[in-house]
Structure 1
Amino acid sequence: MVLTTVLAALLSITLADAAIPNAMLRGRPGLPQIPVPERSLTSADGTALPPITTVYYFNQLIDHTNPSLGTFQQRYWMDWEFYEAGGPIILMTPGETDADGYEGYLTNETVNGMIAQQQNGAAVLVEHRFFGYSNPYDNLTSQSLELLTIQQAIDDLLLTIQQAIDDLVYFAQNADLPMPGGDNVKPDTTPWILVGGSYSGALTSWTMVNKPGIFYAGYASSGVVEAITDYYGYFTPIREYMPQNCSSDVQAVIAYLDQMYDEGDAAGIQTLKEAFGLGDLIHDDDFASALQYNLFDWQSLQPDVGPGAMFFEFCDALEVKDGVNAPATGWGLENAIYSWGNFWNTTYYAYVCGDTDAETCLGTYNTTQSYWTDVTVNNANRSWFWMVCNQVGYYQVGPPEGQPAIVSRILQPIYEERQCVNMFPQKFATPPLPSVAEVDMMYEGWNVEVDRLFFANGLRDPWREATVSADGLYKSNTTTQPIYEGDGFHCSDLITDNGVVDATIYTVQMAGLEYMKTWLAEYN
C-alpha cells in the first residue's frame, strides 16, 4: 500500500488494528479516539436512555444548491443524560473519518459532555458527508456509465467545505432529535453550541463565519482555520519541543541528504538508503518522505504518554549510547546515520511495512496499487485527499532555505500534488493547485472575528501553525473570541483526563466552560 504525507489512518489506532495491512499513522489532522465509557442508564428527568452506540439517521440534502437531487442518510449519535428542558444542544462532527467509535465525545469524558453536564444540555455527534457510511452513493468511483457517482458529484461541488457547513446548518434547523422534546429544540428556540477539533475545529470557525446566527456559541480545539499549501510549519512545534539532541542529529542527517541531492551524488544517496534498509526504494523523494515517518509519530502524543511511545523510542535509539544521553548537540552525523538506520532496520521497518518490500510500501509512483484505485465507501483517505487536493493543501514539506530543517527540502508541494493525479486521474491531467486563497478569503482563516467562539490550542501541536495561535500572528484574545493555549498536543484539551495530567490544559478546559456558562446566561 502506498503511503502519502497528507493522508493517514486514524491517529488512535495501532498498526495491528489498521484495516489495511501496513497502514502507517501519518500527519493528517484528526481527533484522537477515546474508549466509549459507561454512563448512566437514565437521563436527568429519570427516563431510560438507549445505548450510547445507537445509530440514528437524518435525511440530509445531497446538494444544498440543488435540493431537487434529493437526500441521503447521514448517520448521527446522541446522548441526553444531562439534558433538562431549556438546555443547549452541543453538536460535533469528528470530521474526516468514520464517526463510528467516536461516541465517547457524547460523554463528560470530553469537553462536549462537560459542557452538556454543566449546562444541562444534550450532545450530538454527526458524521461528515462522504466519510464513514454517510454517503449519497454506494462507491467512491471517479467515473460511472449510468449513475451519478462520487466523481461527478465532486465535479458538482458536493464534497466541499461549503457543503459540509450547509450540512451542519440544515441538520440543526431540521433534525427532530430522538430525545423527549427533541422536535422542539431548533436554533430559533434553543441555543446550539458547535464543537470541533482539528479539521472539524476549523469547520466550527468557518461555519460561524459563513452562517452567522445559527450556532449561538462555538468551541474550536486545534482548529486549522488557515488553509496552507506549503505547510512546512507542521514540523516547527515538533522541532521546538522534541529533545534537542534528537533534533540536532535529525537535522544533521537531513542536511547531509540535501547536500548530496543538490550535488547529484546518486551513489551517496544510495548508500544512505541502504543504511536504513531502504536500498530498494527507487525514488529519492520517496526516501525523503520515509524519513518523515518518525516525526509524524509526534502527532499521536498526548500529555499522559508513556516512555514507550514510538516517537521517544526513536529519539532514545539516536541519543542514548551505553546508557549515556547525548549532549544538546547530539552525537554527530556518523552516529546519527548508524543509529537512525539501525532503528529502521531492527524496529521501524516492520512497524511500517511488515513483510512488504520498500517500493511497494513506501513508493508513490506505481499508480496501479490499490491505495490509488480503492473506490469503496468508507475510504477516508480518498475522501480527505479530494479536499486536500482541491481546497486546503496542508502539504507537509521541507522548509525554505535559511530555516532549520528536520525534513528534507527535496519534498516540495509538487510531491503531493503529483499524487493528486495518481488518485484522481480522470479529474486531474496535471498536478492541481488547491484553492487555499479562496478558502481563506471566504471563511476568514486567521482573520476570523466571531462573537462567542472559544479557541483552544496546544503549544506542542504540529498543527499549531495553521491555528489562530500560529507564531507571529499575535491575534487578540478578547472576551467575545477568547484564545487559550495549553502545553498540550493535538486536541489535548478535548479529553477531560488530559486536564488531570496537565494543569495548563485544565486551565484551558475550565476557561472554556466558564465562557460557555457566561454566554449561555446571556441567551435570550
Structure 2
Amino acid sequence: MVLQTLSDFFRICLLLMWVLCVPGNAHFTRFRKFQNAPSLEHAVDENWFVQRLDHFNGADSRVWKQRYFVSDRFYKPGGPVFLMIGAETSTSPLWMQSGAWLTYAERFGALCLLLEHRFYGLSHPTEDLSLESLRFLSSQQALADLAHFRVVTAESRGLKSSKWVVFGGSYAGSLAAWFRLKYPHLVHASVASSAPVYATVNFPEYLEVVWRSLAAENPECPKLVKNASDTLIARLKDPSTYNSITKDFGLCSKLKIQSEMDSAYMLLYLAEPFMLAVQYDQETRAFAGMVDSKISRKALCDLMSDSSRGEPYDRYAAIARIFSQSCIDVRYSYYLQYMSSTGWSGAGASGARPWVYQTCTEFGFYQSTDSPHQPFGGFPISFFLQQCRDIFNMNASVADAVQQTNEQYGGYDIRSTRIVFPNGSIDPWHALGVIKNITDDLPAIFIKGTAHCADMEQARASDLPQLTQARQEIFLLLQKWLKE
C-alpha cells in the first residue's frame, strides 16, 4: 500500500460505494492504491444523461450532464431493470462486469444500469466546488436525480412496464433504501447493503466495533493498540520527543503540534490502518485492481503481537511505515489547504470536499474517540465539528442538519416494503444500520464474520458459508418480490 499524497487519504472505494462499496467514511479512508484498471471483458456503454440542476426550484431551468453506464449482456425482453447507485467517488464501470448483482441479473434477465452521483467522478453539475455550488449537493437532490433518470430512461428505452430494482452499498445503500421509501411508484424493490440509515453527529460506536472486531481476531490486539496510542498521546505532550516521533513514523517534516487540531489530525491519521482493516478485512481484495489486499485484522494484529519489533508503540510506528512507501504528512494545515481547493482538478477529483460537505450538512457520522470502550484517543467530536467550521466557514449546527436528515428519512423507523438490509458483523457501520427485521417485507440479513459490503462482491470458493447463504437469501427475496 502507498500513502503518496493526501488524495490517497480521500479515495474511498468508498467503496465503495466507492469504486467499490465505500464509505463511505465521514473522513475518508486513506490507505487506497489502485493498479491500472483491468480491461473490461464485456461491452459497457458510457452515456451522459441531461439532468436538472435543482429539482426543487421550478424556476431554475439549468441542466448538466450526468454519467451513467449500460449493460444489456443479460437482458431479456420483459425482464427487470437493475439500477446500481453510485456514491461518493468516481463510479467505475468495473461494477458492470463483476459483483453479486450481475449474478442476480443473469438469473432474472435484467438490464443493468449504473448512475454516478452528482458532484463525484465526472458528474460535475457546476463549474466548481465553491460553497455556492455545493448547495446543490444533497441526498435529496441525488434521489431526485435517480427519479428523473428512471422516468426518462424508462420512457426512452421502452421500459415503463418493467420492474426496477435498485442496489447500493454504504451511503449508496442508504440511497437505495431511501429511493424506495420516497419514490415507491418508481422503485419496485431495493437491496441496501451496509447502509447507515440513521444519521448521527457523534459516532463513537464505530471504534467500539473496531475494538470488538480486533479482539475477535486476537483478544490482546486492541489492548496493544490502546497501549501504543496512549504512549503516543503522552509523548505528544512533550516537545522534546518530536524529533524521535518524526523519525519513528516517517513523517515528511519535523513534527509541530501547535493546537489540539494538529494532534487530533495526526492521531486520526495513524489510526486509519486499523479502521480500514476492520471495515474491509480483505473483502475488497482484488476487485477493481486493489493492491492492498493484505490489509486485514489478522495482518495488523500479527504485527502488533510481534515482540521482536519492540514495545507496542514501536510496532504501531512500524505499521505506519510499512503501509507507506513515501513519507507521511500529518499537518492539519496541509489538510485544510487541500480541502479548501474549489477546482475540479483539486479535492473534487477524489470526492473529498463534497463528501465532507455532506457530513457537515446532512449526516455527521464522525468516528470520534468519545468512548472508553475503543483503542484510540485524541480525536474527539470537537475535532470534526471544528473541521466543518475551518473548511466551510460554517456557523450552522451540524446537529440540526442531522436531525433534519432523520426527520426526512425516518432513521431506523423506516416504513416501506420490499427493502432488504444486508450487514456484516465485523463492519463498524452496522451500528447505524438495520440488523433485525423491521417487518417481513423489510428484512435484515446480519452476516456473522463479514465486513463492509461483502454481500455485493462476486462469489468465490473461499467465502464463508453464511456469506453464500446471505446472497442466496437476497436472490430468493428478489425472486419473490419480482413476482408481486
Specify the TM-score bucket, using the shorter chain as the normaliser.
0.7 to 0.9
Which residue of structure 2 lines up, in the alignment, with residue 284 of structure 1? 263
Q: Give the secondary-structure state (helix, strand or coil) at the position aligned to 2:172.
A: helix
The partner residue of 1:185 within 144, 159, 165 is: 159
Q: 1:9 to 1:484 in 2, by over 3 A?
A: closer
The reply to whether residue 504 of structure 1 matches residue 466 of structure 2 is yes
- Whether the 8 Å CA contact 2:366–2:381 is kept in 1: the answer is yes
Give the 5 Å matches for 1:155-194.
Answer: 155=135, 158-175=136-153, 183-186=157-160, 189-194=161-166
Residue in structure 1 matching 2:272, options 286, 289, 293: 293
Shift of 1:302: 2.9
* Structure-2 residue corresponding to 1:405: 374
Partner residue in 2 for 1:148: none
Aligned to 2:23: none
Q: SS of 1:115's equivalent?
A: helix
Instruction: Tell which structure's C-alpha radius of gyration is larger.
Output: 1
Deviation at 1:8, TM superposition (A): 3.9
2:302 matched residue in structure 1? 316
- Opposite residue 169 of structure 2, the aligned amino acid is G
The Cα shift of 1:240 comes to 1.4
Pair 1:91 & 2:83 matched = yes
> Which of residues 72, 76, 100 in structure 1 aligns to 2:68?
76
Q: Which secondary structure does the structure 1 equivalent of 2:65 belong to?
A: strand
Mean Cα displacement is larger for which, 212-221 or 368-377?
368-377
TM-score (norm 1): 0.76
Conservation of the 8 A alpha-carbon contact between 1:232 and 1:397: yes
Distance 1:388 1:4 in 2: 18
Aligned-partner Cα distance in 2 for 1:132–1:512: 29
Cross-structure match for 1:207: 179
Structure 1 residues 34 and 379 mapped into 2: Cα distance closer, same or farther (>3 Å)?
Answer: closer
Q: In structure 1, list runs of 5 or more residues that go unmatched.
A: 14-23, 40-50, 143-150, 323-330, 470-474
Q: 1:196 aligns with which of 158, 164, 168?
A: 168
Deviations 1:179-219 (A, max 9, x none): xxx62212xx2211011101000011112222222201010
1:459-501: CA deviation from partner (whole Å, max 9, x where unpaired):
11121112112xxxxx335431111122311101001225752
What secondary structure, in the 3-state scheme, does the structure 1 residue paired with 2:167 have?
strand
* 2:415 corresponds to: 449
Which amino acid is the alignment partner of residue 442 of structure 1?
Q
Q: Corresponding residue for 2:57? A: 66
Residue identity (%): 22
Q: Which amino acid aligns with 2:331?
A: G
Give the equivalent residue in structure 2 for 1:476.
437
Q: Tell me how far apart the structure 2 counterparts of residues 520 and 430 of structure 1 sit (CA, whole Å).
A: 44
**1:250 to 1:367, Cα distance in 2 relative to 1, 3 A:** closer
Structure 2, unpaired ranges of 5+: 17-26, 286-291
Matched, 1:466 2:432: yes
Pair 1:458–1:281, CA change in 2 (3 A): farther
Aligned equivalents of 1:28 and 1:321: distance in 2? 25
Residue 331 of structure 2 is matched in structure 1 by: 363
Aligned-residue CA RMSD (Å) = 3.3
Cα distance, 1:452 vs structure 2 = 0.7
Which one of 388, 391, 411 corresponds to residue 359 of structure 2? 388
User: 2:318 aligned with 1:338, yes or no?
Assistant: no
Partners of 1:3 and 1:364 within 8 A in 2? no
SS in 2 for 1:291: helix
Report how far residue 365 of structure 1 moved.
Answer: 3.0
| Residue correspondence of structure 1 range 115-264 to structure 2 within 5 A | 115-140=104-129, 142=130, 151-155=131-135, 158-175=136-153, 183-186=157-160, 189-242=161-214, 243-256=218-231, 260=234
Q: Give the whole-Å Cα distance in 1 for the aligned partners of 2:462 and 2:70.
A: 26
Q: Secondary structure at the match of 1:369?
A: helix
Under a length normalisation based on structure 2, what TM-score does the superposition of the two structures give?
0.82
Q: Tell me, what secondary structure is at the counterpart of 1:56?
A: strand
Aligned to 1:325: none
Question: CA contact under 8 A between 1:6 and 1:394: conserved in structure 2?
Answer: no
Q: Distance in 1 between matches of 2:37 and 2:209?
A: 24
User: Matched residues in 2 for 1:415 and 1:91: separation?
Assistant: 37
Aligned 8 A contact 1:196 1:220 in 2: yes
CA distance in 1, matches of 2:274, 2:318: 17
Residue aligned with 1:174, SS: helix
**Secondary structure in structure 1 of the residue aligned to 2:482:** helix
Query: After superposition, what is the alpha-carbon deviation per residue over 1:144-196, rounded to whole angstroms, capped at 9, x for unaligned?
Result: xxxxxxx32434xx21111111111111111258xxxx62212xx22110111
Contact residue 242 and residue 256 of structure 2 kept, 8 A: no
**What's the CA shift string for 1:22-68, capped at 9, x where partnerless?**
xx971799xxx9956524xxxxxxxxxxx21x211111111111243
2:267, 2:94 → 1: CA distance?
37
Query: 1:126 is matched by which residue type in structure 2?
Result: L
Question: Counterpart of 1:445 in 2: which secondary structure?
Answer: coil
CA contact 2:81–2:163 (8 Å) conserved in 1: yes
Aligned 8 A contact 2:87 2:171 in 1: yes
CA distance in 2, matches of 1:494, 1:265: 44
Q: Could you tell me which amino acid in structure 2 is paired with residue 347 of structure 1?
A: I
- Kindly provide the CA deviation profile for residues 247-298 of structure 1, in whole angstroms up to 9, marking residues without a partner as x: 110122334456x49xx95358758845545561423223322331221331
* SS of residue in 2 equivalent to 1:365: helix
Contact 1:77-1:103 at 8 Å conserved across structures = yes
| Structure 2 CA distance for partners of 1:268 and 1:297, relative to 1, 3 Å | farther
